[in-house]
Amino acid sequence: MLSDTIVAISTALNNSAIAIVRLSGDEAFKIAQSIFDRDLYKHRYNEMIYGHIIKDGSVLDEVYLVKFQKGRSFTYEDMVEINCHGGVYITREILNLCLAKGARLALRGEFSKRAYLNGRIDLSQAESINDLILSQNKIQAQSAIKGINGSIQRLVDPLLEDMMAMIGMIEVNIDYPEYDDVVIITHEYLLPKLAKWIKDLKLMIDKAERFRIVKDGLKVALVGKPNVGKSSLLNALLGKDKAIVTDIAGTTRDLVEDSVVLDNITLHLIDTAGIRKAKDTVEKIGVERSLKAIKEADLVLLLIDASRPLDDEDQKLLALVDDYEHLIVYNKCDLNDEIKGLKISAKEGKIDELLAYFNDYAKNDQALVDEDILNNERQIALAKKSQAILMDMQKAAQDGVDLDLLSSDLYEAYHDLSMIVGKDYEDDLIDHLFKNFCLGK
């Protein structure tokens, strides 16, 4: 696949002033030259070359063409960008000319994939490019730019290097015992290292999960008995009538979802069906979905009717949410101003106290945007997996399991962590052994 020369339209396909058709691969210059009326080989790299695209001996479009040198382009391959007029017809015609001359239509993300496979960027940088394109707010864009500039690799590399050094020393202890100048690895030597790595990963994961809320928003499940005012609260937070509100208990039978951007945080709100013993099959399904939403939420907002004394259903809900991060909010406070706790009146739109709570929720974590930090669920999951392996390894080391058996666990933990940036751990080990222990002599 890397031997193919690929082509794609790199700008939105619509009527606009300018469009870009991009070629990458060994035949990029040859294909571009075959449809261009200037000798692009006489021009310098990165120079805007004025000329015309020719089809069947006639001028198709007036363009600027730029050629990029292999090893210095985005894909690390010979690459050409044709800056043409942005009409849909013209852009497609130039694309079709390139295809007719031997290029292959690029797959989704293939230019970035080639940049990764050719060593131009690591996997986390490739993800950050897509994150920047899809960013919807300033913090998401800032985080993506940091990722493109290598923040993820800077974060994980010190830990990877430390783990690889330990793997190398264990390998030498096992396979080359005749070396006199090598540290003898014992359980007492290994255990402090394991403790440090586990601690470092925990800090890395905790920061990433806190920053995820700042960057992507807080998923909030609105939970409570039927007719407690969840739908009224959803509408008040959104500033519009999203959910149906009636005096009939159980009006909401399914999840109703929407998002709202506050001063310091985005809320992804889920209005759940009232949780109680279901009276029919439809309501039962709604309650089951509500319970699932509770498990998946970052925060469970339990709404309590302040106008009534707590009953058995309220107590059951309090016990239910106790296992999750939750906030208890008393609604209908206009009917009872003596209640203690966070009070609102959703129907009257009196929710200032709740809005203040949400705006302060992740305020202190906004400074994390300036730190090197894991940037998505895939990266966090790999860090968690590596941490879990190290914790099992720590217990095994405390129990006296042989080092040669422990080394395979360390390999696995290193591999999972290295996949955050897509590194080849086997090549890393070979390089490390030859560099530090002169095994090539």
DSSP-assigned letter for residue 224: E
What does the pLDDT look like over 78-122, one tens digit per residue? 999 999 999 899 999 999 999 999 999 999 999 999 999 999 999
Highest mean pLDDT among 67-81, 135-149, 163-177: 67-81
What does the pLDDT look like over 183-217, one tens digit per residue? 778 899 999 999 999 999 999 999 999 999 988 89
**Percent of the chain residues past pLDDT 70, beyond the cut:** 87
Backbone φ and ψ for 372, nearest 5 degrees, come out as: -75, 125
Buried b (16+ CB within 10 A) or exposed e, 119-156: ebbbbbbbbbbebbeebeeebbbebbebbbebbbbebb
Under a CB-based contact definition with an 8 Å cutoff, are residues 5 and 103 in contact? yes
pLDDT of residue 245: 40
pLDDT of residue 254: 47
What does the pLDDT look like over 301-338, one tens digit per residue? 999 998 888 888 889 889 988 999 999 999 988 877 77
Is it the case that residue 436 has pLDDT exceeding 60? no
Is it the case that residue 440 has pLDDT exceeding 50? no
pLDDT of residue 165: 87
What's the whole-number average pLDDT of the chain? 86
**Residue 279 tokens, joined:** 């009276």
Is it the case that residue 250 has pLDDT exceeding 70? no
Place of tokens 């430390």: 162
Which range has the worst mean pLDDT, 20-24, 164-168, 217-221? 164-168
**Residue 106 tokens, joined:** 């690029």
Is it the case that residue 430 has pLDDT exceeding 80? no
Q: Tell me the pLDDT band of 243, cut-offs 50, 70 and 90.
A: very low
pLDDT of residue 174: 73
Under a CB-based contact definition with an 8 Å cutoff, are residues 215 and 332 in contact? no
In angstroms, rounded to a whole number, what is the distance separating the alpha carbons of residues 172 and 167?
Answer: 9
What does the pLDDT look like over 16-43, one tens digit per residue? 899 999 999 999 999 999 999 999 999 9
Highest mean pLDDT among 95-99, 170-174, 349-353: 95-99
pLDDT of residue 191: 95
pTM of the model: 0.77
Q: Output 283 or 258, whichever has higher pLDDT.
A: 258
Highest mean pLDDT among 177-181, 195-199, 224-228: 195-199
Q: Tell me the pLDDT band of 139, cut-offs 50, 70 and 90.
A: confident
Domains defined along the chain, listed by start: 6-117 (3.30.1360.120), 151-211+372-437 (1.20.120.430), 216-365 (3.40.50.300)
Identify which of 23, 78, 83 has the alpha carbon closest to the alpha carbon of residue 49: 83
Under a CB-based contact definition with an 8 Å cutoff, are residues 105 and 99 in contact? yes
What does the pLDDT look like over 262-301, one tens digit per residue? 888 889 999 876 555 555 555 566 677 778 888 889 999 9
Identify which of 74, 87, 116 has the alpha carbon closest to the alpha carbon of residue 17: 87
